Amino acid sequence: MTRKKATTKDEVEVLLTSRRRCALCFGLRGDLGIKDGQVAHLDRDPSNNSPENLCFLCLVDHETYDRRSRQAKGFTPQELAAYRDALYASLATHPELLWMSGTASPHVRRKAKERWDAALYERQLVIYRATRDFMAAVVREGKVKFEDLSRFASATDEVVFLFDDDMSNYLSELYRKGVRLEYVNKRLERGDAAPDRPALIEEEGQLLTWFTEQFSVLLRKAVPFMRP
Ligand SMILES: [Zn+2]
């Protein structure tokens, strides 16, 4: 029984950068599917483990690449390198897949990072605007409508991935106060002479004041994320 040799750091980089997409499947057939495969050596020398010499190939293509044939012209290292680089460039159009890994060229990585940052910024902006619009609706109407609450909740449910815990807790607090204000609004609209009516009127005023003050709080919390 043979022991499998340990995976080197460079091989791990190849697996991460290729996302287990085969360079020949992609280069010859436009196939970006995830494959069972291996890390191949472009120069067919298994002792040469420099990153430029490594490439992920599916099992079938690895077999084909390493086979020596007297009749057919085999694949050259230059071809494989070209297909590999094209694959990495293509994966760069999915920046969330690529920018954190290491073997792509610095240029490709920088481009991918820029696209990723731009996409992240857009999504953060959506959350910021939804929150600001929710506050504006509450302050404008002087009350919370159920539709505004649910729109706010669904537009901001990714906050935990796109901002930090502080922002996430803050939006939860906004939501909780919104739910409470909606309840207080409803109780007061009923117009019954409940004994706690004066307390509810007082609480409604306090909540509305609190909402009015949140525009600057939101801005202060969001700015560190939104500045390049
Ligand atoms: Zn393949």
Q: How confident is the model at residue 3 (pLDDT cuts 50, 70, 90)?
A: very low
Q: How far is the CA of 24 from the centre of ligand 1 (A)?
A: 5
Ligand 1 centroid distance, CA of 215 (Å) = 54
Q: What's the pLDDT band for 153 if we cut at 50, 70, 90?
A: very high
Residue 59 predicted with pLDDT over 90: yes
Averaged pLDDT for residues 145-163:
89
pLDDT above 60 for 212:
yes
pLDDT at residue 60 tops 60: yes
Mean per-residue pLDDT, 196-200: 91
- What mean pLDDT comes out for the span 36-64? 93
User: Tell me, what's the pLDDT at 7?
Assistant: 73
pLDDT of 216 reads 94
Over range 181-204, report the average pLDDT.
90
Q: Please say whether the beta carbons of 136 and 145 come within 8 A.
A: no
Kindly report the number of other CB atoms within 10 A of residue 48's CB atom: 12
Tell me, in angstroms, the distance from the centre of ligand 1 to residue 148's CA: 51
| Mean of the per-residue pLDDT values of the chain | 86
Instruction: Decide: pTM greater than 0.75.
Output: no
- If DSSP states are collapsed to H, E and C, what string results for 212-226? HHHHHHHHHHHHHHH
Residue 76 DSSP class? P
pLDDT in tens, 61-115: 999 999 877 777 889 999 999 999 889 878 876 655 555 555 556 766 677 777 7
Residue with tokens 């970006």, as numbered in its chain: 32
CB 182 within 8 A of CB 148: no
**DSSP element (H, E) containing 122:** helix 106-141
- pLDDT at position 149 over 90: yes
167 has pLDDT over 50 = yes
Contact criterion met (CB below 8 Å) for 57 and 38: yes
Q: How far is the CA of 227 from the centre of ligand 1 (A)?
A: 43
Q: Do 56 and 18 meet the contact criterion of CB atoms below 8 Å apart? A: yes
Q: Is the pLDDT at 184 greater than 90, yes or no?
A: yes
> Quick one: pLDDT at residue 9?
82
Q: How confident is the model at residue 2 (pLDDT cuts 50, 70, 90)?
A: very low
pLDDT value of position 94: 66
- Going by pLDDT thresholds of 50, 70 and 90, the confidence category of residue 208 is very high
**Residues, Cβ < 5 Å to ion ligand 1:** 22, 24-25, 58, 61
CA 56 to ligand 1 center in whole angstroms: 9
Length of the chain: 228
Q: Ligand 1 centroid vs 175 CA: distance in angstroms?
A: 50
pLDDT of residue 179: 96
d(CA 5, ligand 1 centre) in Å:
23
Summarize the confidence of residues 115-135 as an average pLDDT: 87
State which H helix or E strand residue 54 sits in.
Answer: strand 54-58
